[in-house]
Amino acid sequence: MSMLVVVTENVPPRLRGRLAVWLLEIRAGVYVGDVSKRIREMIWEQAKELVEEGNVAFCWATNTESGFDFQTCGQNRRIPVDHDGLRLVSFLPVDDSSTP
């Protein structure tokens, strides 16, 4: 069992309901819980399937140098990158196509 934190933005109510079955929603779109690896992976698969136009970030405790790992799915400017075994966050450039 390990601590899991899930942060959602602009996801459909169906996904929020699925997350609420396994985790406690402590703020709007922020879920926490202590789940097994098998349950975490099952929740992740459902999140990827149901995310639609939103985005989801998963973070869980691990036995690594940083003490945690994370993954994301959906439309978001923040993307995880591996830098010599350390997971960091990189920002995609802002889409300026809407400005004249």
- What CATH topology corresponds to 2-91? Alpha-Beta Plaits (3.30.70)
- List CB contacts of 16: < 8 A, sequence separation 6 or more: 8, 25, 29
Which residue ranges make up each domain of the chain?
Answer: 2-91
Model pLDDT, residue 88: 82
The amino acid at residue 93 is P
Model pLDDT, residue 98: 58
Q: What is the pLDDT along the chain (100 residues), one digit of tens a residue?
A: 889 999 999 999 999 999 999 999 999 999 999 999 999 999 999 999 999 999 999 999 998 888 888 899 988 777 778 888 778 888 877 776 655 5
- Roughly what angle, to the nearest 10 degrees, separates helices 13-22 and 37-50? 170
Whole-prediction pTM value?
A: 0.83
* CB 81 within 8 Å of CB 89: yes
